[in-house]
Each structure stands twice: as C-alpha cells, then as structure tokens.
C-alpha cells in the first residue's frame, strides 16, 4: 500500500455509520413482516409471472432473534451495469455481517457482472481483499458487466453453478433492469425448490430507481456532488472570463434527477428538465427559443456568458424527436439485416427518409449531419438509440447560434455568443463515495445479508429515514415485484421495475421552478466545492438537496 494517496489511506480506515438496530449483536436482529403488497400496476399479469414471490410483505429489521443467522453460508455477489460510488461498501456490508454471524461463512464475488454466475467465474473475497476496497469508488474489486439474466438456459447454468459450489444466497447490486433480472432469477430458483435466495440493492447514479420506500439509489449523492463541484468551477470561470456560454450535458439515461439536483446546488442560468419538456409538449424549436431568450436577456445587461445544464435524455423527451427515435428503433430492429447492406451514409439516409413517416422524415432531414449519424449508430442491448452518444449539447449550441444570427440580421440582438460544450458523466461514476453513500451502502449490504439469512427471496434491501442522521435510519427490504409493471421491450410485453422520473408537482422541481427566472438573468451562482469527508456533520454528512426537499427537511 506504499503507493496510496493520503486520502486512500484515510478512507480505508473510515468506519461507516450504521442504523441503531444494526449496531446490535447480529444474532439479536430479526425481520418483522408487514402486510402483503401488490405491484404498482399490471397486478394480474405480474402475479401470473411471479406466482411464488409476488405479494410478499415489506420487511423492517427490529430487535429479536433469528436462529438461522448463525448458519454457515456461502453467498455470491454480483455487480451489474454501470458503476456507481459506494458499490464496494455494499460488498463490505455483506462481508462484515456474514462474518459476524459466522466467521466460517464465505463470500464469493462473481467476476465481470452477471456473466460470472452463468460461467462459474468467481473469487473468494477475503479480509485482505475487502480491506483494500473499503470506502473507495469503482467496481474494480470484481468488475461489472451488462449481461442480462433473462433466458431459461442462463437461469439453469446459474443454478448449477450455485449448487456445485454450495452457494445458498445471491446478491445482485444493480439498477432497475438488473434488479428486474434478479426478481426473475429469484422466481426461477424458488420454482426449482433450490433453497437459494436472491436479493438486490438499489444502484444507479441516475436517481431513477426509487419510490415511496426506496428513497434514493446509491451513487446519486456522490455523483451529483462531484458534477456540482465541476459545474461550480465552470461557473466561477465563466464569471471571471465573462465571454463564454457553457452548455453542460449531464449523465442520466432517461430521468432528469441529476440535472435537477445539480441545478439546486449550483443555480445555473438555464437548466432543462426533460419531463417538463414532455409535459408541455415543447418542440425542439421551443427548447431553443427558451435558451435563446435567456441569452438575449443577459446580453441586454452586458452579460454575454452563462451556464446551461442539459440532461442526457432530453432528446427523447422532445415529442417530435421522441417519435423519430421510436420509429428509428422499430425500423432498424425490423430491417437490421437490410440496413447493414447499405454501405454509404448517403444510402442509409436516403433509405431512412423513405421509410419514415412524413413528419419524422422532416425532423430527421432538419438535423445536423453529425446528429443523424449518432441516431443511426450502434444500438444498446435493448436495440434502442444510445442516447449518451447523441451530442445534444452541441446540437443546441448550433441551433441557438443560428437563431441568434437570424435575430442579428433583423436588428433584434447585438450581443455576443461564444459557446463551449461539456459532458459530465464518467467523472462521477467512480468517485470516492461521500460519507452519505459510504454509510448508506454499508447499511444496504448489512440489510441484504439479513434478508438472505431470514430466507427472504425476491427482495431489494432498503433503508428509510435517510434525511436523518445515520443512527436514526430504518433498514429493511421490500419485494421487487412491488416496484414492477409491464412495458414494451423488443416488441414484447415484459416485466420491469418502473423508472421514477422527475415529478413536476414534487418539492425538488417546485423549489427549482420558483427560482429559475431569477437565476436566468442574474449571476447567482453557488460553488459547492469538493466533497468533504472530515469535518462538521453539516458539511460532510448531508444528503442531497433532492432527498431533503422530498422529505420536507
């Protein structure tokens, strides 16, 4: 460890704070069962798909006894999907709880994501290995992957790997898709009377894996604080140089939670919320006009600079562009073989324009060439456009610039417009987790073990009361089926965990909406600075503004 930075050494030694009930002797913690539950929608279909795990009760951990806690166990853990700060601490929470319950128990890490359980590729996590990753960012302890557990062949291979190695519990650390796959795996294992329990943990920096019981997904707090530090730095530079408009695209596949949280932390001049664009049926021209109005208003005050935040998924929420993308997804899915024979860009564009509806063809033709290419680029595992590759920030810069040029010709604008584009995403996915995420993830790992030890399968670990100090947090678990509905995927209706989008009648959006007109024309930037790990609680341990507003704190 001689090559470690001082911060790394200090973070290895940090002891995460646990909820009061989890501080007790682990043999004195029991699972208190609530009332039966139902899914958020499509109850009949989901009951048919999950007859053995549907409708299970919400669980809260309380003082009591569980004679099964001390049983010798072998548990496997999977990191699934994109990285999120705190994943290592979830594993640390599982490891420590497992070893406290019985030092002879073993924790395995499946390598490279879900493919590890299919292929039987795993490693034992020892004290020495675990201690080298505590309170650090990244998923490099065992790696992650995006293989989907969705076929009977995969389930059967996973079952045989677990049986062969006496693994009696599996923890899936992932987002909505990963935990949906975990729910299907839990149902399969139970159908086979395997005795193997499967539980999940809520991971994603996007913030869209939440509901009334899952208050936030881990990683969101750290990622938004990291992005907000960078945005604050750019705001300080913009106000110093006074000559650039910075268009900053922020990661977040569908929901605008990241953009909204960063706006609340930094008070930029513009922040687009995709859900509002869709709700108001705003066209691309409307979005461009709204940004242009702010630039003109600031220019009239001699302020030819500013900061605009753009959510990654915006392009899909603009109605006419969303329809175009939907048509492209269907068209390229059905005609993938023929499309692959078109060797030139011109041939591809000509064929696309011929096959699209009139309105979508018009929208496609009006887009810059670079955006057209990005729309036709490689598809994601669902066969959809890879939104993260679409340079929406550059598209808006180009369209706003054209609008301002037209206004100049008419004598309606005489200010300057010089813009720079940024995309913040990977910068936050593997950051050192904040104290909040370090504590939260450790508690989630602890809770995941307790769910497994109670024989509760098809659950996701959760902790409530997160706006309070950690000792007042309330740990437990909720059935994965409770969060699910049916959605169209690859032309079929499939069970999925419902994504949580920004609620326009929610407290975080209302707090933003009440101030944005003022932030637009003034330079009221705030500068969060770097994440602080040591110092006063009000500086180091605070949750996100989104969470505090949602809880009325």
**How does pLDDT run across 473-496, given as a tens digit for each residue?**
999 999 999 999 999 876 688 999
Stretch among 104-118, 256-270, 369-383, 480-494 having the lowest mean pLDDT: 369-383
Q: Is the pLDDT of residue 186 over 90?
A: yes
| Mean pLDDT, residues 87-104 | 98
Q: What is the reported pLDDT for 349?
A: 86
Whole-angstrom distance, CA of residue 407 vs CA of residue 101: 71
Q: Count CB-CB contacts under 10 A for residue 33.
A: 14
Q: What is the reported pLDDT for 380?
A: 64
Residues above pLDDT 70, as percent of the chain: 98
Q: What is the reported pLDDT for 490?
A: 67
| Mean pLDDT, residues 327-352 | 86
Say whether 206 is catalytic: yes
Q: At what angle do helices 176-191 and 152-164 cross, to 10 degrees?
A: 70
Q: Is the pLDDT of residue 61 over 70?
A: yes
Stretch among 233-237, 260-264, 335-339, 374-378 having the lowest mean pLDDT: 374-378
Q: How confident is the model at residue 387 (pLDDT cuts 50, 70, 90)?
A: confident
Q: Which of 206, 208, 437, 541 is catalytic?
A: 206
Q: What is the reported pLDDT for 489?
A: 75
CATH class entry, domain 17-219+433-497 = alpha beta
Spell 227-255 as b/e; 16+ CB within 10 A means b: bbbbbbebbeebeeeeebbbbbbbbbbbb
Residues above pLDDT 90, as percent of the chain: 85
**CATH code 3.40.50.460 region(s) in the chain:** 220-425+506-550
State the burial class of residue 524 (Cβ atoms within 10 Å of its Cβ: 0-12, 13-18, 19+): middle
* Greater pLDDT, 381 or 70: 70
**CATH code 3.40.50.450 region(s) in the chain:** 17-219+433-497
Q: What is the reported pLDDT for 1?
A: 52
Q: What is the reported pLDDT for 379?
A: 65
Q: How confident is the model at residue 147 (pLDDT cuts 50, 70, 90)?
A: very high
What integer best gives the mean pLDDT of the chain? 94
Cα angle: 227, vertex 436, 180; to 5 degrees? 80
Cα angle: 304, vertex 310, 311; to 5 degrees? 170
Whole-angstrom distance, CA of residue 263 vs CA of residue 261: 5
| Mean pLDDT, residues 42-51 | 97
Superfamily of domain 220-425+506-550: Phosphofructokinase domain (3.40.50.460)
CA 339 to chain centre: 32
Contacts of residue 240, defined as CB under 8 A and 6 or more positions apart, other chains included, come to none
CB 102, CB 155: distance < 8 Å: no
Stretch among 64-68, 76-80, 139-143 having the lowest mean pLDDT: 64-68
Q: How confident is the model at residue 2 (pLDDT cuts 50, 70, 90)?
A: low
Cα angle: 85, vertex 91, 94; to 5 degrees? 140
Q: Is the pLDDT of residue 403 over 70?
A: yes
């Amino acid at each position: 460890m001689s090559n470690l930075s001082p911060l790394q050494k200090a973070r290895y030694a940090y002891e995460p704070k646990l909820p009061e009930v989890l501080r007790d002797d682990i043999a004195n913690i029991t699972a208190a069962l609530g009332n039966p539950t139902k899914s958020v929608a499509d109850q009949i279909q989901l009951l048919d798909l999950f007859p053995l795990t549907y409708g299970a009760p919400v669980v809260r951990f309380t003082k009591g006894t569980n004679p099964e806690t001390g049983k010798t166990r072998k548990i496997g853990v999977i990191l699934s999907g994109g990285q999120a700060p705190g994943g290592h601490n979830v594993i640390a929470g599982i490891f420590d709880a497992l070893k406290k319950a019985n030092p002879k128990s073993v924790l395995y890490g499946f390598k490279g994501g879900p493919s590890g359980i299919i292929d039987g590729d795993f490693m034992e996590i020892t004290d020495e290995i675990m201690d080298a990753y505590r309170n650090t960012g990244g998923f490099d302890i065992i790696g992650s992957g995006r293989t989907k557990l969705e076929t009977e062949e995969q389930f059967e291979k996973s079952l045989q790997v677990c049986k062969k190695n006496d693994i009696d519990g599996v923890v899936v650390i992932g987002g909505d898709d990963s935990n949906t796959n975990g729910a299907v795996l839990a149902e399969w294992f139970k159908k086979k009377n395997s005795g193997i329990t499967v539980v999940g943990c809520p991971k994603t920096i996007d913030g869209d894996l939440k509901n009334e019981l899952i208050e936030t997904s881990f990683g969101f707090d750290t990622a938004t604080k990291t992005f907000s530090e960078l945005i604050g730095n750019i705001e300080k530079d913009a106000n110093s140089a006074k000559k650039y408009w910075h268009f900053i695209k922020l990661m977040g596949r569908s929901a605008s939670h990241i953009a909204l949280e960063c706006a609340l932390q930094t008070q930029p001049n513009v922040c687009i919320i995709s859900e509002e664009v869709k709700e108001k049926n705003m066209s691309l021209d409307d979005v461009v006009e709204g940004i242009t109005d702010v630039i003109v208003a600031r220019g009239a005050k001699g302020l030819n600079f500013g900061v605009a935040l753009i959510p990654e998924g915006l392009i899909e929420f603009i109605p006419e562009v969303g329809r175009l993308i939907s048509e492209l997804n269907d068209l390229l899915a059905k005609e993938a073989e023929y499309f692959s024979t078109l060797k030139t860009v011109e041939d591809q564009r000509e064929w696309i324009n011929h096959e699209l509806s009139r309105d979508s063809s018009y929208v496609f033709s009006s887009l810059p060439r670079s955006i057209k290419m990005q729309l036709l680029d490689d598809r994601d595992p669902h066969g959809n456009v890879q939104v993260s590759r679409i340079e929406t920030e550059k598209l808006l810069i180009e369209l706003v610039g054209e609008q301002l040029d037209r206004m100049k010709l008419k004598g309606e604008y005489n200010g300057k417009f010089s813009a720079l584009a940024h995309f913040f995403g990977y910068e936050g996915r593997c950051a050192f987790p904040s104290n909040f995420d370090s504590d939260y993830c450790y508690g989630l790992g602890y809770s995941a073990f307790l769910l497994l030890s109670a024989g509760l399968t098809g659950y996701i670990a959760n902790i409530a009361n997160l706006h309070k100090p950690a000792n007042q947090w309330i740990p437990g678990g909720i059935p994965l089926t409770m969060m699910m509905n049916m959605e169209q995927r690859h032309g079929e209706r499939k069970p999925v965990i419902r994504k949580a989008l920004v609620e326009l009648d929610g407290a975080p959006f209302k707090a933003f909406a009440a101030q944005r007109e003022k932030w637009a024309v003034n330079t009221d930037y705030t500068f969060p600075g770097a994440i602080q790990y040591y110092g006063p609680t009000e500086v180091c341990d605070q949750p996100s503004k989104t969470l505090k507003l949602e809880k009325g704190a």
